Amino acid sequence: MASGQDRPELSSSKTASRPALADLLPRLLSSLALMALALAAWWFGGDIFVVIWLAAAIAVFCEWQRIIDGEQRLARYLTGSLCLVLVAAFTSRLDFKLAVLSLAGAALLMAALAGPGRRIWASSGLVYASVLIGSLCLLSNDASLGPRAILWLFAIVWGTDVFAYFAGRTLGGPKIWPAVSPGKTWSGTLIGIACGAVLGTFVGLKGLPGPVPLLHVFALSLITAAVAQAGDMFESWMKRRFGVKDSGRLIPGHGGLMDRLDGFIAAAVFAVAIGLLHGGTSLAAGLFDWH
């Protein structure tokens, strides 16, 4: 689970720097706790991995529904949570068709429940949370390369976010899209993407059999890091669209879980797409087998 960059820049004045520095400690502690939980899920694997990430997907889904508001929110919470359980169960067994059918049916019901002006947004929130748990279940299904694929994603997203956050605050400079993400600078984003790609390459190559496909893994890591930043920007735009600063108050110093997983969700979906397109014995194998 990752930390984001979407925070205002430090001001040069002392009065502005104090709140920023005070904000750093809870952000740091929360980030470490989330990383520890994610690594514990990765270490134990199996059902524990699925249950922890299913809980995260349900939290993301509920935060999305809270942001868009609309009618019959409790019914949407229950419907969506049940759908996410089914998606996790089916994708864990690689039963892709049943997962898609469950998601399609629940998305239609979600649209009916949400009422006018929120139908597409309500269904989109269910799809958004479903691709999180579905992607991770599909990638982790390979007992050999699945754990490597998940750890590779952690390295890229965490590395990108951490270096982007500190580089952006240290170097400052032009903003990418101030109206949507006031704290995201070009300097921080580009440095974050480069550092995330380097960390991802190291994790992706470590222990691979045969010749080292350095260029392929680095290029894939670089693009995945950029996709993660695009996912962060998308979530920022979505929140601004509904006049919300944070997706929730679950995590001290960070907001909601959706705020922390936006880039990770985009990166995980992209990894599944690459695995499908490249082919191989599994989706994870499609990421690393470039010989």
Query: pLDDT tens digits for 72-102?
Result: 999 999 999 999 999 999 999 888 899 999 9
Task: Lowest mean pLDDT of 49-53, 240-244, 287-291, name the range.
Answer: 287-291
Q: Is 70 exceeded by the pLDDT of residue 199?
A: yes
Task: Average the pLDDT over 42-68 and give the result.
Answer: 95
The answer for residues whose C-beta is within 8 angstroms of residue 149's C-beta and 6 or more apart is: 139, 140, 142, 271, 275, 283, 284, 287, 288
Dump pLDDT digits (tens) for 261-279: 999 999 999 999 999 888 7
232, exposed or middle or buried, with CB in 10 Å at 0-12, 13-18, 19+?
buried
Position 213 scores a pLDDT of 76
What is d(CA 59, CA 77) in angstroms, rounded to the nearest whole number? 10
Q: State the Cα–Cα distance between residues 167 and 192, nearest whole angstrom.
A: 7
Higher pLDDT, 8 or 83: 83
Backbone phi, psi, residue 8, to 5°: -60, 150
